[in-house]
Each structure stands twice: as C-alpha cells, then as structure tokens.
Structure 1
Amino acid sequence: MSSSTSSQPLVNPAGTTRLLWTVLATVVALTLLAYLVAFDQGAVSRSGMYLHELMHDGRHLLGVPCH
C-alpha cells in the first residue's frame, strides 16, 4: 500500500495576498468612517452643512458625545 503525496501547496499564495489586501482595505475604510462619524466637526466635509448634520445625527445614534 503506497501513500500518494501531492506536491501542491495547501494555501494559494495569490488568494492569501488578495485576502490580506481586502482585509487591510476594509480596516482602513472602517477607520476613516469611524473618524468621520465620531470626530469630524466639519474640517473634512467640504460639501456644506448636509454632511455635517448627517454625521452629527450618526454621533447621536451611536452614543458618541459631541456637545
């Protein structure tokens, strides 16, 4: 009885690299979103008061103190 061993790697390096970049991009995007909602007081938002008021309501919804 002979055991066959495959010479193929168990993990696909290209898939792993793509997964790591996806995770990194997600973390960066969520960090930016958390900054905009929790800490931005209008310095980043240049679109007028609409975005500021939207983020202000988001702070109240999440319970972040903003006053």
Structure 2
Amino acid sequence: MKLTVDRDKCSGHGRCYSLAPDYFDCDDEGYPVILNEQLDSNDGSKVTIAVDSCPERAVTLKEGSA
C-alpha cells in the first residue's frame, strides 16, 4: 500500500498528521508532508482512519509500491 497527498485538493485541516503522525507531518503552512509512503501492515487501521477523515479526499492509499 502506498500513501499519496493531492496538494491541490488539500485545505490543511491537519487530520492526517494528527491521526497518523508516524506517516504524516506538516510543513510551515500546515499542509501534510508524507514521512513514509509505504504502509506497514501493523499500522493499517490508523492510516485508513486518517485517509477516511480527510474532508477533501486529498489523502489516498493505493495498492502497490513505489
């Protein structure tokens, strides 16, 4: 599984980095920065919650790798 963020859709709510801080951080403007694109199988539920919590659906989790 691979994480992506569409910065054109993102409004900087911060839910992703609040819910999954091992995978997201924020830049100086409050927009998400992905720390780790590849999902660890043990972290699936908290990353899925972070993805599902994005109001703009800017954060996605896709099958596959880099």
Verify same fold: TM over 0.5. Answer: no
Q: Which structure dedicates a bigger proportion of its chain to strand?
A: 2
TM-score by length of 1: 0.28
Q: Bigger relative contact order, structure 1 or 2, given CA contacts below 8 A and separation 6+?
A: 2
- TM-score, normalised by the number of residues in structure 2: 0.28
